[in-house]
Amino acid sequence: MAHTYANNFIHCIFSTKDRRPLIPATRMTALYAYLGGIAHGEGFSLLAAGGTTNHVHLLFVLPAQQSLAHAVQKLKGSSSRWIGRQFSWQEGYGAFSVSPSQVTTVKKYIRNQEQHHRRQDFEKEFTDLLRHCGIAFDERYVLG
């Protein structure tokens, strides 16, 4: 085959250091726009962004030549510097592949994070996603 074709939809989640509420609500929209700019500059597309003061959810499309680890490193590193000197993201992240048939559902889920977290905290949300996706983890270490 002469060409490479890929459509890798990724739902990525990462939290602030120690899951502290470090993202000011007044800067969230600008943060999501900034993350979109990072993605564009790195050659991939950010389709949706959402979160709360202690974590973000992103839905992006990675091209075949882009590694997930590189994409997340760029997103976290650049945005951390943009938010400010006292800010840092927690080490690690969650990344879940998304079927093209579920992209609309995941976009809606990501955009409704504020409402979602009125009913469920981040820790439960994240471990539920790991379980749902069949990812093995140790409760003692999963959240750092």
- How far apart CA 91 and CA 26 sit, in angstroms, is 24
10: pLDDT confidence band, cut at 50, 70 and 90?
very high
Give the mean model confidence (pLDDT) for residues 40-52.
96
The length of the chain in residues reads 144
Kindly report, residue by residue over 64-94, the tens digit of the pLDDT.
999 999 999 999 999 999 998 889 999 999 9
CATH architecture of the domain with residue range 8-97+124-132: 2-Layer Sandwich (3.30)
Give the domain ranges of the chain. 8-97+124-132
pLDDT of residue 1: 62
pLDDT of residue 130: 94
